Amino acid sequence: MNRILFLPVVFLAGLALGATEKPNVVILVADDEGWGDIGWNNPEVKTPYLDKLAAEGVRLERFYANPICSVTRAALMTGMHTLRTGVENFNGLDLKYQTLPQALHDAGYQTWMCGKWHLGGAKENSHPEPEYLPTNRGFDHHYGLLGGAVDYNTHMKPKTQELDWWRNGQAVTEEGYSTDLLANEAIGLIQNRDKERPFLLYLAFNAIHGPISVPPGDAAGGKTRGRPALLAAMGGLDAAVGRVMAELEKEGLRKNTLVIFFSDNGGDITKGSTNLNLREGKGTVFEGGIRVPAAMNWPGVLGPGQKSEQFLCVADLFPTILNVTGVKMVSPPSFDGKDIWPALRGGQTTERPVFFMGNKEIAVFRPPWKLITSRQQQGAVPMLFDVVSDPSEKNDLSSQHPEIVQELTQAFQEYVKDIPQKARRGPGGSGGGGKKRPPSQQN
């Protein structure tokens, strides 16, 4: 039913042995990068290092994030759909959730974060308390921003002009382009690591989120705004990834390191992004808002040149990484995400159970079907798409397949029945749903 292309991969048996033999995990996240803002989808974009990463591993053609920044980050950290956690851009991740870095830290991993947190601890967040800082959520080290956006050069918040640049909870004033500084920090952590222990590196760039700045020395054709500036910033992110990958190679770590790359949501078309033929963009659960560029790379384990159409979402990464690393949690949660490593490892596809994307407007997936709905707008009319045959979502099939609409609606209602409405909704009132487009949601 899924109509999936998936080429063979090679699996290296016996990965999870002693602590020193456990694999390292590097998670690279771009901010607001659209479907057409990566070289492998659009030759206009020059991203040679990311293209190489994907070409030597697996391009994840059906990877789904959430429509806005913090919502995706919460799903990555918890393995839960955001309907459950209630996270949105201005409230933190509840302390009751054990995070991915906490699980790996408890298993002996070094855990480092460089970049954008956006899950609490910032002044403008409903949870500014220090308990919500990344260093109190499982990371040994954090360097970067706590909020949703900063100026790339001054590291100030765009609206308030307050400094938002931190090292382990202490504000730091430094000169430099944020993309380069984050890569420099990551490289330093790799160089100075405890070589007897594996590590998790979460490198979450603020690029290419607005307000976009071009890298030093890049004139962007004389343009400081719009797509030329965005392409220059994307080139800077790509070069930074290249430097980090080169350091892993120099240190002899590549063959024991799983690298995961994805964007936190679809492209913001108001800032110069393009999602090509995918419908709309950031802030919506149409394909342009949640289907994002993604890849996995692990030399000798994931064979090169693969293009996978296995459906998966950001909440799947936590349970998948647990499998990859062999880490066993003392009290494992009932993840919403699914471990998709057996499918990736074995070169096969797996029937994907129903999953949910979004926090206000909701997309319910049972591949190839996708239902767009909402519990917050009375009278919202659901929309149904076959996103495999119709990736542009031009043909609403809800009237032709009422039985599928009913099935997916019931699956959604069953999922949320035990979740408090406040958690489903989050602060800020209702978003869009059905055929009513939600307002643009920034950060």
Question: What is the crossing angle of helices 226-250 and 48-55, to 10°?
Answer: 50
Contacts of 235 (CB under 8 A, 6+ apart): 46, 47, 215, 218
Q: Who's near 1: CB < 8 A, 6+ residues apart?
A: 367, 368
CA gap 352, 350 in Å, rounded: 6
Q: Which two tokens stand for residue 343?
A: 């499918």
Catalytic status, residue 118: yes
Residue 193: other Cβ atoms inside 10 A: 17
State whether residue 216 is helix, strand or coil: coil
CA angle centred on 43, ends 39 and 47, rounded to 5°: 30
- Across 182-337, the runs of DSSP E, i.e. the strands, are 199-204, 257-263, 294-297, 306-308, 312-313
Exactly one of 69, 142, 155, 209 is catalytic; which is it? Answer: 69
Tell me how long the chain is: 443
CB of 230 closer than 8 Å to CB of 272: yes
Burial of 177 (0-12, 13-18, 19+ CB in 10 A): buried
Catalytic residue among 105, 118, 155, 209: 118
Whether 69 is a known active-site residue: answer yes
Residues classed as catalytic: 69, 118
